[in-house]
Amino acid sequence: MIKSRSKKYIEYIATGSELLSPGFIETNSSYLAGKLEELGWKLNFKTIVSDRLEEIKLIFQTAQKRSWLIFISGGLGPTEDDRTRQAVAEILKRRLVFHKEILKNIRKRFESRGLTMTPSNRRQAYIIDGATILENPNGTAPGMWLEIRGQIIILLPGPPSELKPMVDNLVFPKLKPFQRRKFLQAVLRITGAGESWIEDRIKLIYSKLPKKMELTTLASPGDVQIRLSMPTGRDEEKDQRKLEEIKKEILNLLENKVYSTDGQLLEQVIGQKLTANKMALACAESCSGGLLANRITNVPGSSNYFLEGLVTYSNRAKVRELGVPEELIKAKGAVSEEVAAAMAKGVREKAGADIGLSTTGIAGPGGGTMEKPVGLVYIGLASSDGVKVERCLFKGQREQIKYQATQKALDMLRLKLMEIEKGR
């Protein structure tokens, strides 16, 4: 157990030259930041560094001087450019110790998949002297935990599919005892409103916040989060009541723009509502290219309410699969209110669903005109009450437009389900 903490920061180092190249996005830091907030901690520094040994050593030395908790991901693989363990060992002046048991487990992993372990994997069986081994059930690179003179250093594999389970199941249970105070938190998620609109409506809340309560806003295309956090004092129940009071005021101000009060994603919320209402959904996508169905089916148990998803990207597919009249497309264009309505109605009827959702638009970067610019998307929702279509104009790159289209579609569905619940 660490008795004193002379350094006050927490930081994350991502190693990998590919992360410094166009097209590669580092996501582990945002995940770690969210997990740290659960303990009432903040991530202070994030650095991405190449695979070069001297550069990793330089960045790690800097972190050593200022941070009591250091996460390092990547560079634990079997290849020559996986140099993290070597860099950290050299700065700490510790040797790398070979572990037969690790090599045995790596070999077993290969054999279970009908493969032969390569000699290069032997590198992964070397662990920094004095480190606690963090087992990796989803890969061949074990992690390491070191406690040295008031400092915790955690080495983890880079792939998120390996890092996240290790953080959840191994790292954070070990960090929990270092939590000095309990923190109370609330996460409200909002869609259908921009950050400035939200700020205008909640600005009076800031003057009502207790000194120890923090309100932060995190905005991304189609989604805004409001995070409330505060350390508990002697009267935890009183602190909890105050947090709930502030949360309730925000909810009253933002009304149905808030889709989640516990951090749940929009697709999780609509999944619960569809299940509760015993309703089935189908969707027909054009510009979103299957992203809507992907988001819906990312939720465990979605097979209970999601019947079918069609990517009718071409006009021919819209006619053939959804029964959209060919003359309608010729007259109005594939990106139109009328075609979005026909798509939603068509997929509802084809699948035998209670609700049909559709997307059709121009995701860009090309294809736009003065009348129909890039970012124009029509979203249709068909139900027993008829068909509703909303015209949207989204900003951003192609991926952002596609995401915003699915976010809007899911929110239209959420609001429809709320309307149905109200009428019962």
pLDDT at 27: 92
Whether the predicted pLDDT of 204 surpasses 70: yes
What is the percent of the chain where pLDDT is above 70?
99
pLDDT at 341: 98
293-350 confidence digits (pLDDT tens) = 999 999 999 999 999 999 999 999 999 999 999 999 999 999 999 999 999 999 999 9
pLDDT at 5: 60
pLDDT at 326: 97
Whether the predicted pLDDT of 1 surpasses 50: no
348-404 confidence digits (pLDDT tens) = 999 999 999 999 999 999 999 999 999 999 999 999 999 999 999 999 999 999 999
Over residues 53-81, mean pLDDT: 96
pLDDT at 180: 73
CATH architecture assignment, domain 9-178: 3-Layer(aba) Sandwich (3.40)
Over residues 162-183, mean pLDDT: 92
Over residues 95-102, mean pLDDT: 96
268-289 confidence digits (pLDDT tens) = 999 999 999 999 999 999 999 9
pLDDT at 4: 46
Over residues 195-199, mean pLDDT: 94
What is the percent of the chain where pLDDT is above 90?
88
Domain boundaries, the chain: 9-178, 183-260, 266-423
CATH architecture assignment, domain 266-423: Alpha-Beta Complex (3.90)
Average pLDDT of every residue of the chain: 94
Confidence of residue 3 (pLDDT cuts 50, 70, 90): very low
Structure tokens at 343: 């798509």
Most confident of 105-114, 172-181, 399-408: 399-408
- Classified by CATH at the fold level, domain 183-260 comes out as Alpha-Beta Plaits (3.30.70)
